[in-house]
Structure 1
Amino acid sequence: MVIIPTEKRFDWKRPPIMLFILVLTNVIIFFVYQGGDEKKLQGALDRYDRLEYFETEWPVYLDYLQSNDVPEAIISDYQTLYNQGHHQQLSFYILSDFHFLDYLNAHWVSFQEPTKGDYWKDRRQIHDEFESTALYGFGLKPKDLGLAELVTYQFLHGSPMHLFGNMFFLVIFGFAVEAAIGHFRFLLFYLVSGIAGGVLFVMVNQYSPNALVGASGAISGVMAMYLGVFRFRKIEFFYWFFVFVGFIRAPALFILPLYIANELYNYLTYTDSNVAFMAHTGGFISGAILILTALLVDPKMLDEEYLAEDEVESPKQRDLDKIYKALGRFSFDTALKALDEFIDTYGEDFDLLKLKYSILKGREDPEQEAALIKLLNMEKLNLNQLERVETLWLDNESLKQSMSNDEVLQLGWRLSALPSLMTSEQIFIYLYSNGIKNETLSHFARKLSIGFGEREHEAKKVKYEKAAVEIYERCRRY
């Protein structure tokens, strides 16, 4: 389930200074400071494996876990991983547990030192290599909790996609919150929410061998602040729930219990996920408490002029509301009727036609095919919409029998604007093999030839140029 607000736009009279600083800081830290982490970690693991230290240390590590009162269920999980041959994963756990090296030093008489390399020197260097990474130097380690790491972990990320996803949601929610509550209060609440998210994560994952990184807890706090700022004001949200995608207007605080319920459900359901659902929940609860407490202490804290902007609904927005309210009540007949009325009044809209198709498909309504054909026949679509059309076509190729040859050809022509010409080429081959050899198909072949030429695919450029000439000459003869 995804629910994000679309109500507010950037207001350059209230520039989100702290938001820009936070985003820029996260990006610079990831691409500049964290750049060598993966190489360091893999190098340390490879060296640990090459020196064959794992088999010596594994039984000692089990004793170490038991001496630290680690629950038997966790030790049993580790033993299962060992029996299944996941030794590198266990090596990672051993090396990331920095207190274990002290345990080795204290219990050196209880095990036979490995013969490869200079064991204590090499082992210390491998330990130092792990500790020198941003991930384990400044990430939040439940087994080795430091106060500074409660802040620093918020500015580290595990991958480019992790960074991009977090920054996307920070920008979507953050600029409006900063404009409403002020720059320094926004920064303070952001950091405190991240700290609260980290604390809750540690409380429920105190034996985790992994270091927590990411701004998710702080951003969840910003999301709660957004809802607290707008409270019972009706604002527009984009939602994505299984096959249902669209927009809905609702009082902001109505979304709060949905968010918390979703995070708790994910935490209880996806127990083997790498996503820190408890950090999200802790940050969200903290953000809600912070903003509501601040409003109780200083009711005039908010920039009411900014919040009041865009509150007046246009007739078009009210008609959209009818659709979303009907969907919220699961009154699909009413929603479909309101959709048709909206399209008749304001013209066809890609997202609304897609929503109509999703509803009909979800109900297995026989009219879904007609709705899909109308969607595939839409013109003047942007690249993102064309990609979605391509996916719909590839998932429903049986439509070839229901669409006219001209409709299929026009679809192929439009899809040729995509980076890949694969689907357009398949459509051409389908039409050609079915005996369609008119001048329009000749023009389509020439368009494919030009497209393949632009993509530096010389063989196919020549192939489709010849096809265009052959089809055109045949049309002239007959």
Structure 2
Amino acid sequence: MRTEPMIAVPLSKNFSWRHPPLITIGLILINCFIFVVFQHDDDRRWEEAWAFYESSGLGGLECDIYRQYLHDQGEAAAVAAAVSPQGAREEERQHCYRAIAEDGRFIKRLAAGEVLDATDARIRQWRALRAEYDARMAAVITYHYGFRPADPRPFTLLSAMFLHGGWGHLIGNMIFLWLIGCLIEYGCRHVVYPLIYLLGGVAGTAFFWWLNPHSGIPLVGASGAIAGIMGAFAVFYGRKKVRIFLNLGFYFHYLTFAAIWLLPLWLGYELFQLLFDQWSAVAYAAHFGGLACGAVLAWAARVVPGCVDAPSFAAVAPENPAASLMERALERMGALAFPEARRLLVTALAHDPDNISIQQHLYTIDRQAPDSGPYHQTTAQLLDLLLAVPAHHDRACALFQDYMATAKPPRLAAVQYLRMSHCLVACGELATARRILLALLKKSPLLPALPMALFRLGEGFRRSGREDAWQQCMALIQHHYPMSDEARAANEVLHAGRPRPDLTSV
């Protein structure tokens, strides 16, 4: 079983790493550990077994016998539609091999001597080849520990849900587990959440078993268990509004509606696929069974006192007008309707004043009129947002350089220039920081943080090997702010007897 993209994916709300979703993280780590440690060589083993199946003649032999078997059973239509004689085209032989794998009754009856007469030479040949093939397949983890309805071993009901058919299968399932698991873990008691996960996986496998009782193809993957917590999510959040990402293949959109409506949407999608995509490698039956089981278990958990922390299941993502307003603004910008786009962005900022993306788009519009008041105001607001986050300091420096080259003339507040000088020093833009601080020293020498800014600039020069510039900064502090703490620090670091630098050359 592999993962199929869900038609609707709930979007996680923010959580604090001070209280991380440990159970979800643990389940993800267990799945990844089993795949990396125990399944790392599975592809090679499977390919070797499959190569033996074809090259030894076992596949062709079984196709011939199976064709005869269906004919003797009076299933002429199945002979024509599902099985091709040996030597047919490659895709038809693969079709035949899968038909045999899905019909576990045939292999059992053939091994019991109920298909070929004991005097038939083919039965001895088949038994020898089949024994070798089965020995090779027993070394394949997904085959041995996956759940095969034709050979139902109880422990594989659990082991199958921790195995995956490849990196894509694993990563897809773990992404969905993270998205859904984080949303319900905080509201469930520690026993309830893993119980829903495990029983949902078992129920999904059992439902697949009920619909395909004779299949010999191993069922693997966490999809049934993840479907269980998806069903639980819809019931736990109930009528509360949640934000989802809708994927219809040809249409993508964000929507907000009551969580409970996701349950019939998901169930209907899996049922549709189950009925009309019967040859798919995706076990839609396991998804359907997991969803239904998870929903029932969540309902039971809500009824039993102490199982659920109901206040934790608040709305996942209350509708944020800023997102839709920015989307409309971008559409208007694409149509070159900049005044209307600006009005929409200003309204969006009223709802989400710390949104850097909105402010950046507003800057792009206002930059077209560099001599206007709004341009300077927008730049100041965007710089404040960028300077507040150290990870954005490079962007702040780039924005400041663009502003200084575009504005006619620049009109930022003295305090903002001072904050910008700290950012420039941190980014290594020492020459620009020096020009700013010298200008402030002339126009606003009483700024309280100016001595510290000069000291930081000097230390920046010192780290970069500019000894002369470092000395000049220390001398400036001593000259203009002789009673400051920074001047005392400068006295300590400057060597005695060193000639006083020319203050005007800094």
TM normalised by structure 1 equals: 0.60
1:3 positional shift: 1.4
**Cα distance in 2, alignment partners of residues 125 and 27 from structure 1:** 31
1:286-297 correspondence runs (5 A): 286-297=293-304
2:347 corresponds in structure 1 to 345
1:12-411 equivalences under 5 Å are 12-62=17-67, 76-80=80-84, 84-85=89-90, 86-87=92-93, 90-91=96-97, 100=107, 103-104=110-111, 106=113, 109-113=118-122, 121-298=128-305, 300-308=306-314, 316=322, 342-343=344-345, 345-346=347-348
Change (3 A) 1:61 1:184: same
Deviation at 1:114, TM superposition (A): 8.9
What is the CA distance between 1:110 and its match in structure 2? Answer: 4.1
Q: Distance in 1 between matches of 2:245 and 2:287?
A: 20
Say if 1:248 and 1:321, in contact at 8 Å, map to a contact too: no
Q: Deviations over 1:231-256 (max 9, x none)?
A: 11112222233443232221111221
Counterparts of 2:316 and 2:165 in 1: how far apart (Å)? 38
Query: Contact 1:217/1:282 (CA < 8 Å) preserved in 2?
Result: yes
- CA shift at 1:281, angstroms? 0.6
SS of residue matched to 2:254: strand
Cα distance, 1:95 vs structure 2: 7.2
1:10 pairs with one of 6, 15, 35: 15
1:318–1:180 Cα change, 3 Å:
farther
**1:311 Cα deviation from its structure 2 partner:** 7.0
Shift of 1:19: 1.3
Code of the residue aligned with 2:301 in structure 1: it is A
Q: Is the 8 A contact 1:201 1:276 kept in 2?
A: yes
CA separation of 1:59 and 1:243: change in aligned 2, threshold 3 A: closer
Q: Give the superposition deviation at 1:305.
A: 4.2
Q: Deviations over 1:264-296 (max 9, x none)?
A: 122222222111111111100000000011212
Q: Is the 2:70–2:76 contact (alpha carbons within 8 Å) kept by the matching residues of 1?
A: no
Q: State how far apart, in whole Å, the 1-side matches of 2:357 and 2:85 are.
A: 49
Query: In the TM superposition, what whole-angstrom CA distance separates every residue of 1:291-311 from its partner, at most 9, and x where no partner exists?
Result: 01121222x532244334877
Structure number with greater Rg is: 2
From the superposition, tell whether residues 11 and 123 of structure 1 become closer, same or farther in structure 2 (CA, over 3 Å).
same
Q: Distance in 2 between matches of 1:81 and 1:24?
A: 46
Contact 1:19 1:178 in 2 (8 A): yes
CA pair 88-179 structure 1, distance change in 2 beyond 3 A: same
**Given the superposition, is the C-alpha separation of residues 194 and 65 from structure 1 closer, same or farther in structure 2, using an over 3 Å criterion?**
farther
Q: Tell me, yes or no, if the aligned pair for 1:237 and 1:248 is still in contact at 8 Å.
A: yes
1:249–1:321 Cα contact (<8 Å) kept: no
Q: How has the CA–CA distance of structure 1 residues 296 and 37 changed in structure 2, closer, same or farther, with 3 Å as cutoff?
A: same
Q: Write out per-residue CA displacement over residues 448-471 of structure 1, whole angstroms, 9 at most, x where no aligned residue.
A: xxxxxxxxxxxxxxxxxxxxxxxx
Letter in 1 for 2:194: L
Answer yes or no: is the 8 Å Cα contact 1:5–1:235 preserved in 2.
yes
Aligned residue in 1 for 2:457: none
Q: Which amino acid aligns with 2:13?
A: K
Report deviation, 1:127.
1.2
Contact 2:325 2:348 in 1 (8 A): no
Query: For residues 76 and 151 of structure 1, do their structure 2 counterparts lie closer, same or farther at Cα, with a shift above 3 Å needed?
Result: farther
- Is residue 200–residue 278 contact of structure 1 (8 Å, CA) maintained in 2? yes
Which amino acid is 2:38 matched to? Y
Whose helix fraction is larger, Structure 1's or Structure 2's?
1
1:121 is displaced (CA, Å) by 4.9
Structure 1 residue 134, shift from structure 2 partner = 1.2
Give 5+ residue unaligned stretches, structure 2.
1-5, 330-339, 350-354, 359-506
Contact in 2 for aligned 1:70/1:207 (Cα 8 Å): no
* 1:73 to 1:141, Cα distance in 2 relative to 1, 3 A: farther
Equivalent position of 2:484 in the other structure:
none
Letter in 2 for 1:212: L
Tell me, what secondary structure is at the counterpart of 1:109? coil
Amino acid of the residue matched to residue 345 of structure 1? T
Deviation track 1:74-114 (CA, whole Å, cap 9, x = no partner) reads 55543248655533554566579787378346457242249
Q: Secondary structure at the match of 1:239?
A: strand
**Identical positions, percent:** 27
CA distance in 2, matches of 1:306, 1:135: 38
Distance in 1 (alpha carbons) for counterparts of 2:16 and 2:77: 53
The 3-state SS of whatever aligns with 2:41 is helix
Q: Is the 8 A contact 2:82 2:95 kept in 1?
A: no
C-alpha distance in structure 2 between counterparts of 1:120 and 1:260, whole Å: 43
Q: Considering only aligned residues, what root-mean-square deviation do their CA atoms show, in Å? A: 3.7
Counterpart Cα distance in 2 of 1:255 and 1:72? 43
Q: Distance in 1 between matches of 2:74 and 2:325?
A: 58
Partner-residue secondary structure (3-state), 2:187: helix
Instruction: Confirm or deny: 8 A CA contact 1:151 1:191 kept in the other structure.
Output: yes
Question: Which SS does the other structure have where 1:144 is aligned?
Answer: coil
Contact 1:138 1:152 in 2 (8 A): yes
Q: Is the 8 A contact 1:216 1:280 kept in 2?
A: yes
Q: How many residues align?
A: 333
CA shift in 2, pair 1:142/1:102, >3 Å: same
Q: Distance in 1 between matches of 2:167 and 2:74?
A: 33
> What secondary structure is seen at the aligned counterpart in 1 of 2:253?
strand
In 1, the alpha carbon distance for the partners of 2:215 and 2:162 equals 20
Q: CA 1:35/1:166 → structure 2, altered by over 3 Å: closer, same or farther?
A: same
